[in-house]
Amino acid sequence: MKYISEYRNPAVAKKLIEEIKEFSKKPVNFMEVCGTHTVSISKSGIRQVLPEHVSLLSGPGCPVCVTANRDIDKAIAIAERSDVIFTTFGDMMKVPGSYSNLAEKKADGADIRVVYSTFDALKIAKNNPDRKVVFFAVGFETTAPTIALSILEAQKRDIENYFIYSVHKLVPPAMAALLSLGEVKLDGFICPGHVSVVIGSKPYEFIAKDYKIPCVITGFEPIDILQSISMLVKQVENGEAKVEIGYKRGVSSLGNTKAQEVMKKVFEVCDAEWRGIGVIPESGLSLRTNFEGFDASKIFDVDVPPTKEPVGCSCGEILRGVKLPCDCKLFGKACTPENPVGPCMVSTEGSCAAYYRYGEVADGV
């Protein structure tokens, strides 16, 4: 799978690679902030076909991986209550908190149910009026509108036993936070396609303007990603920094305004804690005061012991682009997808899992 001849359109791929080789003079680090891009890059072996001085780093692009330990611990504490049915997307089940994970608690008898959408969670709430149904609201801007809708729906249908525990995160503030930290030299961002379907290209503009960093929004095919790299290289070499859209299918500069309205109606922007990064100002979403009654973090006053990170796990550094998965001592040894130590190996879109699955062990970037 590591050969361009296996790309869907090898001629176009070849042309893009040649273009990148021709234009690119300066050594650059580009970061993708989307787990699906990370998977696609690893799967198609893009790193191996790029010139040596063009490096791709994986950023905090997976909502599962960036969920703070404290939030997972609190979610687990809520899930353990006998009056609660805890509902979650499947991705969160095995993500380790400080002391356990949801899957283990379920095995121990807690009523934890995997749902595909908030529809399912609402249905469970309606069918179990004597229980409190809590939905673990994890996700970036792609998912937040769907969860906001469930709150409006619960309100409309007087479902009073439905709550969410919101750990929503916003992508652009995290990109800015990484630039402000200044730990890694970043020369461009490959922006997430499906987050951008909702938010459009505008929210990235301050990154280009204030930080002078080029941004390109792109899709998930190897060709899309190669094209975005070529666009980034051209911007860098021309001394430009602007936001470009390479993903024409579905992304506009304004995004999905209807989805944004729903999101704004229900949520307000708040500071949020990211695993490995810490608190990033205005990077999360919490329920507005008039929806407080649905807020599990206010309704359930759970106390959790101090958090602790898995010993030896470098997820934090990996999420910041400071380390590569293969720099972690446990990678592929004590930590594998079958026996994951940290969240970056649990989630299929986590960097460690993507690198492991597609054999990017020693060659790095």
Closest CA to 244 of 289, 279, 214: 214
**Cβ-proximal residues to 18 (8 Å cutoff; 6+ apart), any chain:** none
Distance CA 255, CA 57 (A): 26
Distance CA 66, CA 107 (A): 25
Distance CA 69, CA 276 (A): 10
333 touches, from other proteins, ligand SF4, none (C-beta below 5 to 8 Å by class): none
Nearer to other proteins, 161 or 256 (CB): 256
Cα atoms in the Cβ-side hemisphere of radius 13 Å centred on 191: 36
Token readout for 114 is 């995997």
Stretch that binds ligand SF4, among 22-30, 38-46, 233-241, 313-321 (CB under 6 A): 313-321
> Per CB under 6 A, does 33 bind ligand SF4?
no
Shortest Å distance, C-beta 100 to other proteins: 21
> Per CB under 8 A, does 35 bind other proteins?
yes
Shortest Å distance, C-beta 140 to other proteins: 6
Report DSSP state, residue 332. T
Stretch that binds other proteins, among 100-108, 229-237, 242-250, 304-312 (CB under 8 A): 242-250
> Per CB under 8 A, does 43 bind other proteins?
yes
> Per CB under 8 A, does 140 bind other proteins?
yes
Pairing of strands 267-274, 278-287: antiparallel
> Per CB under 8 A, does 145 bind other proteins?
yes
Residue from 166, 325, 347, 360 touching ligand SF4 (CB under 6 A): that is 325
**Cβ-proximal residues to 365 (8 Å cutoff; 6+ apart), any chain:** 47, 55, 56, 57, 324
Closest CA to 58 of 71, 70, 46, 67: 46
Residue 332, phi-psi category: left (phi > 0), alpha (psi -120 to 50), beta (remainder): left
Stretch that binds other proteins, among 47-55, 77-85, 251-259, 313-321 (CB under 8 A): 251-259
328 touches, from ligand SF4, other proteins, none (C-beta below 5 to 8 Å by class): ligand SF4
Residue from 199, 259, 324, 330 touching other proteins (CB under 8 A): that is 259
20 touches, from other proteins, ligand SF4, none (C-beta below 5 to 8 Å by class): none
> Per CB under 6 A, does 59 bind ligand SF4?
no
Closest CA to 214 of 232, 226, 191: 232
Count of chain residues binding ligand SF4 (CB under 6 A)? 14
| Footprint on this chain of other proteins (rule: CB under 8 A) | 1, 8, 34-36, 43, 62-64, 89, 91, 116-120, 138-140, 142-143, 145-146, 149, 192, 194-195, 197-198, 219-221, 248-250, 256, 258-259, 262, 347, 349, 357-358
